[in-house]
Amino acid sequence: MAIIGVRTRTALAAAATLALSVLAPVGAATAAPQPAVQYGAGTGTPYANPASLGFADTYADPSVIRGKDGWWYAYGTTDPLREGETTRHILPMSRSKDLVSWQYVGDAFTEATLPAWADRTRGAALWAPDIRYVDGRYRLYYVVTDTTVTAEPNDNAIGVAFSGSPTGPWTDSGGPVVGPRRGGAGEPGNFLWTFDPSHVVGPNGTEYLFYGSYYGGIWVTELNADGTRAVGAATRVAIDNKYEGAYVVQRNGWWYLFASSANCCAGPTTGYSVHVGRSRDLRGPYVDREGVPLNQSRAGGTPVLAQNGNRWVGTGHNAVVTDLAGQDWTLYHAIDRNDPYLTGTDGINERPMLLDRLDWVGGWPTVRAGTWASEGSQPGPITGGSTVTDFTAGSGDFRTVGFGRAAEPQTGTALFSASRGVNTALTSQSLPAPVRVEADVRTDPGATGEHGVVAASSPGNGIAAAVDPATRRLVVTTTHGGAVTGSASAALPADYDPTDWHSLALEVRGGTAWAELTHARLGDPVAQVTLALPAGTSSTGPAGAFARDAGVRVDNLSAVRAATPVGQQIPLPTPGRLLTDSSDEFDGSTLAAGWQVVRDPAVTVEGGSLVWPVESKDLTGPGGNAGLLLRDAPEGNWTAETKLSIDLGTDTVRNFQQGGLIAYVDDDLFARLSHVAIWNTRQTEFGKEMPYAGRTSYGGTIVGPPAETTWLRLVHRVDPANGEHELQAFTSTDGSTWIRGGVWTLPAGSDVRVGLLSHGNQGGDPATSRFDWFHLYAD
């Protein structure tokens, strides 16, 4: 950030002064009666998940953008859309005016128009789209599951297609952006999973692509100037065997890497969930809220979204979108545990698209303040109102001076056409802070006048954010009495082209003005500026857009009351009264009374711990044969907790050795929380097994990172609506800072016992679980 020079200050002062004085607010001489609803509050449509219900039963891996025509567009992975349908839709597309009601608008590709390098003979599919708008064109990145690059199966790669419209037609670039990557020498068909692209524009306009999955990890690579090919060496930012589905945004100087963990597609026991890490550098290293890196064996990752006990499980593969009030939302897919498959009881998992509010608390994102996936009616995003217009039916509640209408593809637009003075489009009434003003802006070739958005305007006063093509800077200016009282600016990238559409936002709140210029409102800004408002700066007045001189085009103009951020997450539950008769400190030479020993595990009590070598047995699948130590659980609400040390080490493969807690009904119906070795990683997995359709179904969700010693907690509640047992997992590496995890349910009326486990060894050297104590609490 730098203070702008004299020439720019003078030009901006003239522009801002004229913009802010050309119109006085309606009622300046005589106060107008106040409307019943606060002016400029914006409107949103209430909704209930799933968001894709109106056009699709499944719509996995969603990606979203606000098009330059004012519609929001979402794209899904290749699947049939409806139950019983047998024809696949290759990257289906949908659109919405309010982010709530969506309509299908076709497929990005057909069987006939697949990229030429997609191997049709092996049934190539396109997965996990990522939509962008850069340099005046829409881009759609995607996975090609089988290519003609090699003659081997599974040689997956990343491709990209271009269009002048968000619905196509799409033209593939002609080859991979990131090609197939071998996972093992001399093994045909052994390719790392080059899945799940996420494109960002980084510092100085350089483009990057994140990609990868469990087999290989998540990587980031620089792209060439048109985004069609990877250049240079890629950097791994998240370890293999834990994360996929990257999505990256910048906020307050941090880059946030969202990533999904666990199995995406385990039917009713799918535990897919979203975690996050952040870094000052786009290339990492990314760490979680507790400072644990995502790119190590005991990988970090702060939970953002997981199942919460309602109908939705498998809540993952998210994208982020911002409404017109500045509130972030996340689109993601999930599975209705009561209807987990698209057709029948097997095959394609039915993963509709969901929408929920994304909050930022203390610099970290979480969905709905930590309550996560919603069920039932919710307030919708702010997407409309009298002070929102795309100029297709006039200028809405904006008073305009010095502009004419011009035809543009798919939409109307405001063309500021007066060749002298300042052209303006301002709200007819005053908007109080906090306020957010947005517009898409571009210039005709040769136009050089400053242009932007303005808030709190009155004759000679106001707060403006402007693009200055002459100096190639984004400038925020405050004006009082016709004079500039404060200003700050940031340079635009060398490749910035003012004739391409860009999105400009100005937000005024709490004594600060903040502006951002982006390609398409997707969290990767071209430039950002923050200015502390000088004393005496008014934060109330009309708002809108302005341009100095002719040849500036404005579209999708909005001026609404800015969203009120959520300030804190819901509190973590705390254990109630310790039940001493149901707990065990393991401070003697034998187990305390009350333990029920299942299949006689080889345990000893020594040195103040329960010592239990990991058994070469397991519970998952039919015929579980692992030993257990169980106790009767109290009625009502309770909490079980243990302190576990298990010598799994790091990095080596010790599948699937684990120790932990279990809530147990029988060998085919249980939920277990373990510190577990999963290939080269060490994770805390909260898994569930249940009978389903004549077989057992197992899946897990991931909580916080483990350590040499890890505290594990299960919190039990009974759902008053249906009597189900709800069990939520928590983990800690110090016994005081707890990480909130997902919820599994057990059927109403089940006789639930709770206890300890140490099993899962698949033939390696067994680790040993050492439990310092087992505590049971009742509320």
Q: How far apart are CA 163 and CA 171, in angstroms?
A: 7
Q: How far apart are CA 576 and CA 753, in angstroms?
A: 18
Q: Which residues contact 10 (CB under 8 A, 6 or more apart)?
A: none
Q: What is the pLDDT of residue 404?
A: 62
Task: Tell me: pLDDT of 239 over 60.
Answer: yes
Q: For the sheet containing 72-75, what is the strand order?
A: 63-66, 72-75, 90-96, 103-109
Q: How far apart are CA 389 and CA 280, in angstroms?
A: 36
DSSP string, 666-689: ETTEEEEEEEEEETTEEEEEEEEE
Q: How far apart are CA 10 and CA 172, in angstroms?
A: 47
Task: Tell me: pLDDT of 409 over 80.
Answer: no
Closest CA to 108 of 148, 160, 175, 58: 160
pLDDT-derived band at 414 (thresholds 50, 70, 90) equals confident
Asked if residues 245 and 259 have their Cβ atoms less than 8 Å apart, the reply is yes
- Regarding predicted confidence, which is higher, 170 or 24? 170
Considering the chain, what is the average pLDDT of its residues? 93
Query: What tokens were used for 643?
Result: 């302190």
Cα–Cα separations (whole angstroms), residue 65 to 162, 258, 570: 15, 17, 30
Q: How far apart are CA 453 and CA 463, in angstroms?
A: 9
**pLDDT, tens digit, 9 for 90 and up, residues 626-638:** 999 999 999 999 9
Partnered with residue 358 across adjacent β-strands are: 367
Q: How far apart are CA 510 and CA 513, in angstroms?
A: 8
Task: Tell me: pLDDT of 14 over 60.
Answer: no
Residue 481 burial class via C-beta count within 10 angstroms: exposed 0-12, middle 13-18, buried 19 and up: exposed
- pLDDT (average), residues 308-329: 98
- Regarding predicted confidence, which is higher, 410 or 191? 191
Q: What is the DSSP letter of 182?
A: B
Q: What is the DSSP letter of 581?
A: G
**pLDDT, tens digit, 9 for 90 and up, residues 326-368:** 999 999 999 999 999 999 999 999 999 999 999 999 999 999 9
Closest CA to 640 of 710, 705, 713: 713
Query: What tokens were used for 73?
Result: 């567009």
pLDDT-derived band at 423 (thresholds 50, 70, 90) equals confident
Task: Tell me: pLDDT of 452 over 80.
Answer: yes
Cα–Cα separations (whole angstroms), residue 54 to 47, 104, 314, 339, 340: 12, 9, 21, 17, 18
Q: What is the pLDDT of residue 12?
A: 40
Task: Tell me: pLDDT of 488 over 80.
Answer: yes
DSSP run (H or E) holding 15? helix 6-21
pLDDT-derived band at 400 (thresholds 50, 70, 90) equals confident
Beta strand residue intervals within 434-480, DSSP E: 435-443, 451-458, 461-468, 473-480
Per-residue burial over 241-266, b if 16 or more Cβ lie within 10 Å, else e, is bbbbbbbbbbbeeebbbbbbbbbbeb
Beta strand residue intervals within 495-618, DSSP E: 502-509, 512-518, 527-532, 540-541, 544-548, 552-561, 577-578, 596-598, 604-606, 609-613
Which of the residue ranges 7-16, 121-130, 506-515 would you say has the lowest mean pLDDT?
7-16
Q: Which amino acid is at 380?
A: G
Asked if residues 387 and 559 have their Cβ atoms less than 8 Å apart, the reply is yes
Q: What is the DSSP letter of 267?
A: G
pLDDT-derived band at 460 (thresholds 50, 70, 90) equals confident
Which of the residue ranges 234-243, 451-460, 563-572 would you say has the lowest mean pLDDT?
451-460
Query: What tokens were used for 353?
Result: 């698209």
- φ/ψ of residue 697, rounded to 5: -125, 130
**pLDDT, tens digit, 9 for 90 and up, residues 69-128:** 999 999 999 999 999 999 999 999 999 999 999 999 999 999 999 999 999 999 999 999
Backbone angle region of 108, left / alpha / beta, with phi > 0 → left and psi within -120 to 50 → alpha: alpha
Q: Which amino acid is at 758?
A: S
Closest CA to 455 of 403, 525, 401, 506: 506
- pLDDT (average), residues 550-554: 92
Query: What tokens were used for 407?
Result: 């035809």
Q: What is the pLDDT of residue 466?
A: 97
Q: How far apart are CA 759 and CA 721, in angstroms?
A: 35
Q: For the sheet containing 312-322, what is the strand order?
A: 312-322, 328-336, 353-361, 364-367
C-alpha torsion 747→748→753→758, nearest 10 = 20
- Prior bond of 434 cis (ω within 30°): yes
**pLDDT, tens digit, 9 for 90 and up, residues 632-691:** 999 999 999 999 999 999 999 999 999 999 999 999 999 999 999 999 999 999 999 999
pLDDT-derived band at 419 (thresholds 50, 70, 90) equals low
Task: Tell me: pLDDT of 16 over 70.
Answer: no
Q: Which amino acid is at 490?
A: A
- Regarding predicted confidence, which is higher, 12 or 253? 253
Q: How far apart are CA 612 and CA 760, in angstroms?
A: 13
Asked if residues 680 and 241 have their Cβ atoms less than 8 Å apart, the reply is yes
Query: What tokens were used for 169?
Result: 């037609």
Q: How far apart are CA 221 and CA 236, in angstroms?
A: 9
Q: How far apart are CA 748 and CA 719, in angstroms?
A: 9
Q: Which amino acid is at 46?
A: P
- Prior bond of 573 cis (ω within 30°): no
